Amino acid sequence: MSFIPAELIKKKKSGGHHSREEVAWIVRSFTNGDFKDYQMAAWAMAVWFNGMNDDETAALTEAMFRSGDHFDFSHLPAARVDKHSTGGVGDKTSLLIGPILAAAEVYTPMISGRGLGHTGGTLDKYESIPGFRVNLSRREFESYVTDHYFSVMGQTKDICPADKKLYALRDVTSTVDCLPLICASIMSKKLAESLTGLVLDVKYGSGALMKTISEARKLALLLKTTGEKNGIRVTALITNMNEPLGRFIGNAVEVQECYEILQGRSHIVNGYDFYQPTRDLSVELSAHAILLAKKSSDIVHARNLATELLVSGAALRSFEKLLEYQGPAEIQKRPVAQFSAEIKARRSGFVTNMQTEQIGLAGIELGCGRKSATDQVDHSAGIEMCVHLGEKIKSGQTLCRYFSNSQNSLVFAEAMLSQAIEIGETGCPRQSLVADTLADSRLSR
């Protein structure tokens, strides 16, 4: 079946809805070059203005998934569950969730991405561990998941090539912030993992793509519906990104934070444990994954199991085993930055607000992330948060430390960080880390 590109563009421009066959043809023709880039750009802009209904979004997701190769874990005797985050600052929970789920004997094939923009990337964090390999062959990835329950790798050129091609086009045509296209991009790669269940961490706030809870819930519902229409059980958590998650922002430093959490350590300053948010959110996301994998019958038992696996050292052993079979990787040789500096409070008061995206962008200036996809990352660069929202502080108190291998980078970061942490006269209540949970409706069946 063949269609006329201009007519399909006109249909969407006029607010019409595509059939499943039309969507499949658009994706297939775009991938092989028959539907030209300029035509796809026009179509994507029409989608940006007029949206897609749930059936169209599900069809787009399926078509993008079928544009390339995918893994087949159907031979495994149990459920396969992964976690996906919409991205934030200091968002490092995947480093803990994978080992926790492996310790729970939940199969977790994790295809992860690199950082772009102010949010970090899981692959960059793992690659900050000397010797760790993320460029795995298909056979290696499948065997590691089968034998050890967990493996992490990057998206190859053969997995969802339509997604990679379309994202590059969206990036230069101002159509990145389009919910149906965001949804199809995320979920097509999850379909390629041959999952039975997926836990979504959909963030809202100053450091998230979605700035409000209502925006995050709208995206979460779309992702959940799309996954379920394609045969995956989905639970979505709406989580707070109005301040960086945990103690560190960066790559090697975030690995350090997670490794110390796996070792049972804390980092308590003025009665506040900076590791607690990372630990709590990782346990909560893991618990919902355990529930989707039917390793627990209710969420309370699942939380207790995830906590026990973390506290007992079972998750630490899974992580250290991962370093062996995807290495050998030497975590004790993580890179350390040559230069560092601090931002100090100019007045006493309370931490009333954090411009979290600005903090993430300062991390990019230090070398933690990329301004473009071809930029090199300084794995040693990072930021240490020394205060939290609502904390009472004194003039001269350290608000954050930041480090890099470039002294010039410190200068640029200082200008951004000095304005990013706001101090006021009165305190503010602590915000809940998890604002809402949209659970899989079939869990009780």
Which residues are identified as catalytic? Answer: 84, 163, 170, 185, 189
Residue with tokens 């110390």: 260
Q: Which amino acid does the sequence have at 289?
A: A
C-beta neighbour count of 348 within 10 angstroms? 13
Q: Which long-range contacts (CB under 8 A, 24 or more apart) does 54-57 make?
A: 54/222, 54/225, 54/226, 54/229, 55/17, 55/20, 55/229, 56/17, 56/18, 56/23, 56/180, 57/180, 57/183, 57/184, 57/222, 57/225, 57/226
| Separation between Cα atoms, residue 303 and residue 280, nearest integer Å | 10
The CA-atom distances, in angstroms, between 219 and each of 25, 174, 207, 298 are 25, 18, 16, 26
State the Cα torsion 221-222-225-226 to the nearest 10°. Answer: -150
Q: How many beta carbons lie within 10 A of that of residue 334, not counting itself?
A: 18
- Classify 119 in phi/psi space as left (phi over 0), alpha (psi -120 to 50) or beta: beta
- Identify the sign of the CA torsion 180, 204, 362, 340: negative
* Structure tokens given for 108: 């977790």
Q: How far apart are CA 324 and CA 321, in angstroms?
A: 5
Separation between Cα atoms, residue 122 and residue 112, nearest integer Å: 6
Three-class SS state of 182: helix
DSSP 297: S
Phi then psi for residue 259, to 5 deg, are -65, -40
User: For residue 151, what are the β-bridge partners?
Assistant: 109
Tokens in use for 294? 């039917």
